[in-house]
Amino acid sequence: MERFMQRALDLAQRYRGVTSPNPMVGAVVVKDGHIVGEGAHPHAGMPHAEIFALRSAGKAANGATLYVTLEPCNHQGKTPPCTEAIIAAGITRVVAAMEDPNPLVQGKGFARLRQSGIMVECGMLEAQARKLNEVFIHYITTGMPFVTMKAATSLDGRIATQTGDSRWISSPSARRRVHEMRREYDAVMIGKGTLLKDNPRLNVRLDEELEGPQKIVIMPNLNVSARELTKMNVYRTSLRKPLIVVCNQGVAHRDAASRYAAHNIQLIPVEEVDGMINLRSLGRALGQSGITSLLLEGGAGLFTSYLKQQLINKITLFQGPIIIGAEGMSLVGHCQNAVIHDALRLKEITTKSFGDTVQITGYPTYRMHPVQKENQNSREDSCLPES
């Protein structure tokens, strides 16, 4: 029944932002129409949702149905195979929301369960399950982080006045939501302009102040020295996770790398493409380091580069009830759309109010050459996680 799968999805949702690089998974054990056990995967390296649900059910799992939001694994990773625990518990039927796209699993879990005589069904509330784990699905199938562009804008699409003032376009409750978003992402990225203009902390400030996601600054020419960076907020809030600076390969000689490394700053040199940092190569490098999700927080140059290279997966704008005017700073730079038909459109739009600010979220629909699409969908198997 769908209500049992919905309960499993709700359980999985509780651990948003803390299971990376693993997916969010929930499971419930049902017998005679009643839930007798439930659980969710709380953190990478800990038991999976099925194990917690089976432990919760105890002997009542024998002859019961297991509802789970993702196909159970059948391989030895950081934890033992869930399929063997399901079989040993005496479960007679497994209902899954979706197949696991991880090549280490991908149908093998279902096959093992069927081989042991367990009835298997797949596809219940699949759309919801896919949306829940959109980050994991993108990462595991492309080897690159899921990229979300986030900004606060005026009604006329400006992110700041001509002097750079942007405090505050959005409401206090909207800004709180931004901190919740930071907590949900592996890394947050800004450009050099935002670094110098705003000197942001990029940490998580909710009920308590936390270091938050890995912090990344795009600085093609390394024109802010390591010593200068150590005086900035983004460095001071990078405690357990060293600050990452992305630069052009041409300026990342050995001496430069040593100077930044001496201050515990990691340089990632990347080649240029059409005068811009090759963000696809950067995405592969970040994926190989285990970063599954990336939040872009400005500014317009960074947003424009990612849009031009068609690498933004999701856009979230917090639109405040103000008008700044043409002299203000635009959300993005030149995109050369001669007609409306060529303009980038968003799909699957959702809106939510935070006081006087409206959050608008959607997914870009790119018009790309088939070769580009093939390259975007290529997977770097070396960064696939052990679940």
Instruction: Give catalytic residues, as residue numbers.
Output: 50
**Nearest by Cα to 166 from 138, 194, 189:** 194
Dihedral (Cα; 126, 385, 8, 349), 10-degree rounding:
-50
Q: Are strands 119-122 and 158-160 parallel, antiparallel or unpaired?
A: unpaired
Tell me the C-alpha distance between 361 and 178, whole Å: 13
155's CB contacts (< 8 A; 6+ apart) are: 319, 320, 321, 322, 323
Asked if 234 and 202 count as a contact pair (C-beta separation under 8 A), the reply is yes
